[in-house]
Amino acid sequence: MSTVYNLKREVEKPVRLTGGHRLCAGCGAGVIVAGVLRALDKEDRAVVVNATSCLEVSTFMYPYTAYMDSFIHSAFENSAATCSGVEAAYNSLKRQGKVEGNVKFITFAGDGGTYDIGFQSLSGAMERGHDMVYVCYDNEAYMNTGIQRSSSTPQFARTTTTPIGTAQIGKKQNKKDLTEILVAHNIPYVAQTAPIGNFRDLHTKAYKAIYTEGPCFMNILSPCPRGWDYPMAQLAEITKLAVDTCVWPLYEVEEGTWRLTYKPKKKLPVEKFLQLQGRFSHMFQKGNEWMIEEAQAYVDSKWERLLEHTGE
């Protein structure tokens, strides 16, 4: 197929994640899953794997599944090992002539299932080199259990386990940089993206991840209207602001080569992103200006480092 992205052609493909699933309106996860699966060539089959998550309980509630492809969920912390098990079965059965056609293996897990409890399983699967794609839909907290902090939650964010009190205000620690940790695994392809605009960035990266041999990892920012506390109609706006403030830069690392895939024409101040979300509202109270300054300084230093890596 042509590698030139054409939105019209892509959306005319039959859907692989059908409507009628139970995800919230204004949630990034469904948009991301549909977007990634759209990158599959029409004739190829996939086995989709989920970690336990909002996504899983919303897309496969017995006896209904929203997936047109085969699907497996087993537990919270083992989606990478699960995907590697399906891939291992495929290799064995293919070798024995017992399975036909091209099958791709794609895992979706949230940040809790990826940065935290599923981290060992992910690292192991990437090191073993299974031909699979692992997609983290990163909504920056344990949303399925009711918004608890994860190691992906950004500093100062309010969650139900990092409340706003007099002795402590939101999350103390900075967000773990999982994408860089995956780069350190020396796998063929690592990408960070978000569902913005016409999906060109997400689609192109998903296609590369699916059709690059070996283990590939995608970290995709996935706003959550409940956890981030924004009106559901603002999903697209918030995602765009995360990218344009450089809170969530879009880049990829292909065979060790870093490349920035989107550079904002004008890097916006971080409060443009923060101010739309209830989870950061305390940062805008009088006396808390230092929080915004620290958040800005952190984003700036990460951005500078990324530019060094990508040689911009």
Instruction: For the chain, give percent helix, strand, coil, nearest 5.
Output: 40, 15, 45
Q: Which of 33, 81, 136, 196 binds other proteins (CB under 8 A)?
A: 81
Write out the H or E segment, with its range, that includes residue 298.
helix 289-310
Q: Which of 27, 84, 132, 153 binds other proteins (CB under 8 A)?
A: 84
Name the one range near other proteins by CB under 8 A: 27-35, 121-129, 194-202, 276-284: 121-129
Six token digits for residue 302: 């990460």
Q: Among 87, 5, 10, which Cα is nearest to 41's?
A: 10
CA 312 – CA 256 distance, rounded (Å): 16
**Least distance (Å) between residue 36 CB and other proteins:** 17
**Least distance (Å) between residue 264 CB and other proteins:** 39
Q: Which of 11, 61, 232, 297 binds other proteins (CB under 8 A)?
A: 61
User: Within 12-51, which residues bind other proteins (CB under 8 A)?
Assistant: 45, 47, 49
* Pick 52 or 222: Cβ nearer other proteins: 52
Q: Coil, strand, or helix at residue 114? A: helix
Q: Coil, strand, or helix at residue 3? A: coil
Name the one range near other proteins by CB under 8 A: 63-71, 206-214, 221-229, 293-301: 63-71
* Pick 70 or 301: Cβ nearer other proteins: 70
* Pick 122 or 196: Cβ nearer other proteins: 122
* 117-153 burial code (b ≥16 CB/10 A, e <16): bbbebbeebbeeebbbbbbbbbbbbbbbeebbbbbbb
Binding of residue 57 to other proteins (CB under 8 A): yes
Site mask for other proteins (CB under 8 A), range 258-287, x = bound: ------------------------------
Q: Coil, strand, or helix at residue 287? A: coil
Ramachandran bin of 209, using left for φ above 0, alpha for ψ from -120 to 50, beta for the remaining angles: alpha
Write the CA distances from 292 to 183, 204, 280, 284, 289, integer angstroms: 29, 34, 10, 8, 5
User: Within 128-187, which residues bind other proteins (CB under 8 A)?
Assistant: 128
**Residues of the shown chain interacting with other proteins in the complex, contacts defined by CB under 8 A:** 45, 47, 49, 56-57, 60-63, 65, 67-75, 77-78, 81-86, 88-93, 95-96, 98-101, 103, 120-121, 123-125, 127-128
